[in-house]
Amino acid sequence: MKGINLPVNSVIIITLAILVLVFLGYMFITGTNPLPQTVKPENAFNIGCKKYFETENSPENIPVGDINNDGNQDNLLTACRLYYSNESMEAEGCEQRCRDRFPYVSR
């Protein structure tokens, strides 16, 4: 009976090793995150406001990730417009929303 168990155990171990190697190869080829990541407008707004306070750039020049799932990098102004459901919001309005949302941040 021991003569039969050894080959079966070896086959199981070899199969598992092959599966692990295939998985590692897949991760290596596609990267650790193969799916495009979209950012929720609230998270993008919070991240963008932090960058705004750090850099004092205009909201149009602050990248925050892909919010509308079009594969392109969006900016803080887009995040403001989506988060506050106001397509006509200007950069100054977005800056004011950041200051209102985070009044404790000093520049």
Place of tokens 């070899």: 14
Cα 75 to Cα 95: distance, rounded to the nearest angstrom = 13
Q: Could you tell me the residue ranges of all domains in the chain?
A: 1-34, 41-101
67: number of Cβ within 10 Å: 23
In this prediction, residues 38-61 reach a mean pLDDT of 89
Integer angstrom CA distances of residue 82 from 23, 72, 100? 38, 15, 17
Provide the 8-state DSSP code for 4.
H
pTM of the model: 0.62
The pLDDT tens digits of the residues spanning 52-75 come to: 999 989 999 999 988 887 878 899
Cα 36 to Cα 10: distance, rounded to the nearest angstrom = 39
